[in-house]
Amino acid sequence: MIQTPSPALDPTADVAHLTARLIDLESVSGGERGIADAIEQVLRPLTHLEVVRDGDCVMARTNLGRAERVILAGHIDTVPLPTAGGSRGTVPSTWDGDVLYGRGATDMKGGVAVQLALAATLTEPTRDITFVFYDHEEVEASLSGLGRVAVSFPDWLVADFAVLLEPTDGTVEGGCNGTARFDVRVAGRASHSARAWMGVNAIHGAAEILVRLRDHEPATVHVDGLDYRESLNAVKITGGTAGNVIPDSAVIEVNYRFAPDKSPEQAEEYVRALLEGFEVERTDAAAGARPGLQHPAAAAFVAAVGAEPKPKYGWTDVARFSALGVPAVNFGPGDALLAHTDDEHVHADAVRACLRALTIWLS
Amino acid sequence: MIQTPSPALDPTADVAHLTARLIDLESVSGGERGIADAIEQVLRPLTHLEVVRDGDCVMARTNLGRAERVILAGHIDTVPLPTAGGSRGTVPSTWDGDVLYGRGATDMKGGVAVQLALAATLTEPTRDITFVFYDHEEVEASLSGLGRVAVSFPDWLVADFAVLLEPTDGTVEGGCNGTARFDVRVAGRASHSARAWMGVNAIHGAAEILVRLRDHEPATVHVDGLDYRESLNAVKITGGTAGNVIPDSAVIEVNYRFAPDKSPEQAEEYVRALLEGFEVERTDAAAGARPGLQHPAAAAFVAAVGAEPKPKYGWTDVARFSALGVPAVNFGPGDALLAHTDDEHVHADAVRACLRALTIWLS
């Protein structure tokens, strides 16, 4: 296979334009080679940085012996390109005035551009910095580049605090809710639907489950100063085999987004109690992360950024840092609600403001 | 394509053994050519019968100028062979003592064998008889051979009374329930499941539908002396798109088996009233058939058979005869509950008893 040489990136250019260049390097999960090469090409010549590469994860760090070390991390992959014709959230990027459109504009080439600009320009930061540019975030957790380097280069993920540059619209979002999925099964007995009384209807048996989920009032839980709003929902349902057969099985997939005061085990207990009397199987779980804003490095960060921190509802890799013992927050340019949409975009000033805030904190 | 010549059938052999020979002629819907050829081969030489063939439907009738004409009808196709290894309800047939196993043993090669035996032996029946051996009963109604000849040979389906030799375990089953299917749809609004409050959960919205169906008490309706037990059920449910998305749609398929005192339109009205407030679309309907047992020919038949008539719950082609103005009942060997099962079988004596009863009635 012939590799097209990656066009060189200029990390000292305007960071919004650097974002556009990064979007132009299409990098759907599994296809990160080119963008990882381009990032490595920027970092290798920088004498104030130690650089390693593992697969398509590129890491760089200062070794200045500062009292504190912080990690700035971001994933370099994106979800697939939009399939709808006329979508602007695609590749290559396009400008509409000061608004930059393209796949990854919010999630999260803007954040990656900020990381790259900081790596190139902050030669004497007041805190030692480890930069992590990682692959395979938008796919199943087992493929995560961050998970891989946590095993292969554990010392590179030791730090006092981590900032994940996921889109938060310029506010600090602390911690994250956990997530767990369950299959709730109802068994029946099949019969011909013309003689329904010979069978037991599993779909009718599922009525009670849906009623309990519908009537459930999700809690809002105060953790370390932030309010985490939970969600508990049926996300899928299937049942029945044919139009003339009483269904002998129904399965409801339930997703519980639980506050970071609970472990996945406690979340499971909660769901089992709510759905008592039914067969509940946990199929997937990821712990949340407490915001950790009481940590001095985090407090200094929040003070430097100057905006009121908010809770993060969706699961992000801050939970991975949290599990490694590193308090972490999300802070990055762009609106998370635009992530993965056909209309993905970011305002140039949002990327510039993020760079400014982090530069102030680290200088 | 090379046609294997059909082995000749002997209609004067023991009718249970004739059933076995008919089972051995595999005839899954669409593959009835061979069995239709074999039946035609038996009927053509019989000088007391007028014979016509239309596709794989074979019909024969006496023209003795009797006061009454009756139709004896049965389908020659079967559902597909069992896929489970070791199934006995397959092809070729096997005997276990006096019990005959094989696909079609109950549905309805036994009934077809009785028709064939009567056609060959009753040269001077007391009522004129029209025999109908038809194709494509086990598939969608539009393919039905009986429906086809009702159009192409309408005078062949004119009669005072019809007996459909579907399995009824030797009792007379009169009329049949109608059947109608509905899609009941609930719309929601998608959102990320970590921010469920931004969406509207369509599956939760379906809870009320399932509760109404679960709590509904199906009626038993007295029609022309028989009690028709109704069934109203969710037979399928689907909803949701992904494990992290609040579902924006749920669809419940509902099957209503309604007594023959109602038209499909009245059945629809009933379901719409029960599910008021929800979007209900009728996707399919077939009228039932009143038992018609007050008709003299039917009454004479019931008297000759000597068993208490029962209602038929499942939809059968008696409804097609009913729509043509011919009162019809089901009466045949074998247990309808074994139809389509991997263990399909019939007792030799059940086939013989059916032949005996019809011979007495028609002699």
Q: Per residue in A91-146, pLDDT tens?
A: 999 999 999 999 999 999 999 999 999 999 999 999 999 999 999 998 877 899 99
Q: Per residue in B246-270, pLDDT tens?
A: 999 999 999 999 999 999 999 999 9
* Residue A236 to residue A253: CA distance in whole angstroms: 5
* Residue A211 to residue A171: CA distance in whole angstroms: 37
Structure token pair of residue A251: 């399965």
Q: Per residue in B283-297, pLDDT tens?
A: 989 899 988 888 888
Sign of the C-alpha dihedral computed for residues A305, A310, A316 and A320 taken in this order: positive
Chain A residues touching B242 at Cβ < 8 A: 235-236
Residue A3: pLDDT over 50? no
Query: Which member of B32, B40, B56, B77 is catalytic?
Result: B77
**Contact present, B175 and B312 (Cβ < 8 Å):** yes
Which of B208, B237, B252 to probe by mutation at the A interface, max A CB count within 10 Å? B237
Q: Among A173-177, A290-294, B172-176, where is mean pLDDT lowest? A: A290-294
Q: Which residue has the tokens 């992590």?
A: A132
Structure token pair of residue B275: 């599910």
Instruction: Looking at the structure, tell me whether residues B171 and B239 fall in a common domain.
Output: no
Q: Per residue in A236-262, pLDDT tens?
A: 999 998 888 899 999 999 999 999 999
Structure token pair of residue A312: 């993060």
> Which residue would you say has higher pLDDT here, A6 or A251?
A251
Q: What is the CATH number of the domain that holds A254?
A: 3.30.70.360
Average pLDDT over chain B reads 93
Q: What is the CATH number of the domain that holds B134?
A: 3.40.630.10
What ipTM was predicted for this assembly? 0.78
- The verdict on residue A93 lying in a domain is yes
Instruction: Looking at the structure, tell me whether residues B318 and B270 fall in a common domain.
Output: no
Q: Measured between CA atoms, how close is A202 to chain B, in angstroms?
A: 9
> Which DSSP string do the residues of B68-119 spell out, in sequence order?
-EEEEEEE--BPPPP-STT-SSSSS-EEETTEEESTTIIIIIHHHHHHHHHH
Contact across the interface for B193 and A257, Cβ inside 8 Å: yes
Chain B residues touching A257 at Cβ < 8 A: 193-194, 196
What are residue A50's phi and psi, to 5 degrees? -95, 130
Instruction: Looking at the structure, tell me whether residues A326 and A245 fall in a common domain.
Output: no
Surface of A (210-249) touching B: CB under 8 A? 210-211, 213-214, 218, 229, 231-247
Structure token pair of residue A123: 């030669």
- Residue B67, CA atoms < 13 Å, CB-side half-sphere: 4
> Which residue would you say has higher pLDDT here, B138 or B204?
B204
- The verdict on residue B40 lying in a domain is yes
> DSSP state, B197?
G
Q: What total number of domains does chain B contain?
A: 2
Q: Measured between CA atoms, how close is B141 to chain A, in angstroms?
A: 14
Instruction: Looking at the structure, tell me whether residues B231 and B84 fall in a common domain.
Output: no
Instruction: Looking at the structure, tell me whether residues B33 and B122 fall in a common domain.
Output: yes
Which of A176, A177, A193 to probe by mutation at the B interface, max B CB count within 10 Å? A193
Instruction: Looking at the structure, tell me whether residues A24 and A163 fall in a common domain.
Output: yes
Chain A residues touching B207 at Cβ < 8 A: 207, 210-211, 213-214
**Contact present, B288 and B304 (Cβ < 8 Å):** no
Q: Chain A contact for B96, CB < 8 A?
A: no
**A284 catalytic residue (yes or no):** no
Instruction: Select from A206, A210, A235 the Cβ nearest to the Cβ of B245.
Output: A235
Q: Per residue in A21-56, pLDDT tens?
A: 999 999 999 999 999 999 999 999 999 999 999 999
Q: Which residue has the tokens 């954040």?
A: A111
Q: Per residue in B322-348, pLDDT tens?
A: 889 898 899 999 998 888 888 899 999
Contact across the interface for B240 and A257, Cβ inside 8 Å: no
Instruction: Looking at the structure, tell me whether residues A240 and A267 fall in a common domain.
Output: yes
- The verdict on residue A8 lying in a domain is no
Instruction: Looking at the structure, tell me whether residues B257 and B339 fall in a common domain.
Output: no
Q: Measured between CA atoms, how close is A229 to chain B, in angstroms?
A: 8
Cβ-proximal residues to A217 (8 Å cutoff; 6+ apart), any chain:
none
Cβ-proximal residues to A235 (8 Å cutoff; 6+ apart), any chain:
A181, A253, A254, A255, B193, B203, B240, B242, B243, B244, B245, B246, B247
* Residue A205 to residue A214: CA distance in whole angstroms: 15
**Contact present, B222 and B280 (Cβ < 8 Å):** no
The full length of chain B comes to 363
Q: How many CB atoms are located within 10 Å of the residue A222 CB?
A: 11
pLDDT in the model for residue A2: 45
**Contact present, A103 and A79 (Cβ < 8 Å):** yes
Residue B205: pLDDT over 90? yes
Query: Given A256, A286, A316, which residue is the final one in a domain?
Result: A286
Q: Where are the alpha helices (DSSP H) in chain B?
A: 15-24, 33-43, 110-121, 145-152, 202-205, 207-215, 264-274, 296-305, 318-323, 348-362
Contact across the interface for A203 and B210, Cβ inside 8 Å: yes
User: Percentage of chain A surpassing pLDDT 90?
Assistant: 77
**B217 catalytic residue (yes or no):** no
Q: Measured between CA atoms, how close is A112 to chain B, in angstroms?
A: 24
**In a 10 Å sphere around its CB, with 0-12 CB exposed, 13-18 middle and 19+ buried, how is residue B126 labelled?**
middle
Q: Chain B contact for A143, CB < 8 A?
A: no
Q: Per residue in A198-225, pLDDT tens?
A: 899 999 999 999 999 999 999 999 998 8
Contact across the interface for A204 and B214, Cβ inside 8 Å: yes
Instruction: Looking at the structure, tell me whether residues A45 and A128 fall in a common domain.
Output: yes
- The verdict on residue B3 lying in a domain is no
Structure token pair of residue B42: 């038996």
The per-residue b/e assignment along A259-283, b for 16 or more CB within 10 angstroms, e otherwise, is bbebebeebbebbeebbeebebebe
Is the peptide bond between B108 and the residue preceding it cis, with omega within 30 degrees of 0?
Answer: yes
Average pLDDT over chain A reads 93
Q: Measured between CA atoms, how close is A351 to chain B, in angstroms?
A: 25
Question: Per-residue pLDDT averaged across A287-299, rounded?
Answer: 85
Q: Which residue has the tokens 């090409």?
A: A41
Residue B251 β-bridge partners:
B185, B238
pLDDT band, very low/low/confident/very high, at A7 (cuts 50, 70, 90):
low
Instruction: Looking at the structure, tell me whether residues A67 and A21 fall in a common domain.
Output: yes
pLDDT in the model for residue B3: 45
- The verdict on residue A6 lying in a domain is no
What are residue B207's phi and psi, to 5 degrees? -55, -45
Closest by alpha carbon to A332, among A306, A358, A308? A358
- The verdict on residue B10 lying in a domain is no
Instruction: Looking at the structure, tell me whether residues A266 and A357 fall in a common domain.
Output: no
Chain A residues touching B186 at Cβ < 8 A: none
**In a 10 Å sphere around its CB, with 0-12 CB exposed, 13-18 middle and 19+ buried, how is residue B17 labelled?**
middle
Q: Chain B contact for A152, CB < 8 A?
A: no
- The verdict on residue A107 lying in a domain is yes
Chain A residues touching B255 at Cβ < 8 A: 193, 243-244
Instruction: Looking at the structure, tell me whether residues A281 and A303 fall in a common domain.
Output: no
Q: Which domain holds residue A70?
A: 15-175+289-362
Query: Given B286, B309, B338, which residue is the final one in a domain?
Result: B286
**Contact present, A280 and A272 (Cβ < 8 Å):** yes
Q: Which residue has the tokens 């005072």?
A: B160
> DSSP state, B121?
H
- The verdict on residue A148 lying in a domain is yes
Give the A:B interface size as CB pairs under 8 Å.
155
* Residue B342 to residue B144: CA distance in whole angstroms: 24
**Contact present, A329 and A298 (Cβ < 8 Å):** yes
Chain A residues touching B204 at Cβ < 8 A: 210, 213-214, 233-234
Question: Per-residue pLDDT averaged across B305-324, rounded?
Answer: 87
Residue A1: pLDDT over 60? no
Q: Which residue has the tokens 């957790």?
A: A141
Query: Which member of A26, A56, A77, A169 is catalytic?
Result: A77
Query: Given B244, B269, B286, which residue is the final one in a domain?
Result: B286
Spell out where A30-176 has E strands: 50-54, 57-61, 69-75, 94-96, 99-101, 128-134, 161-164, 173-174
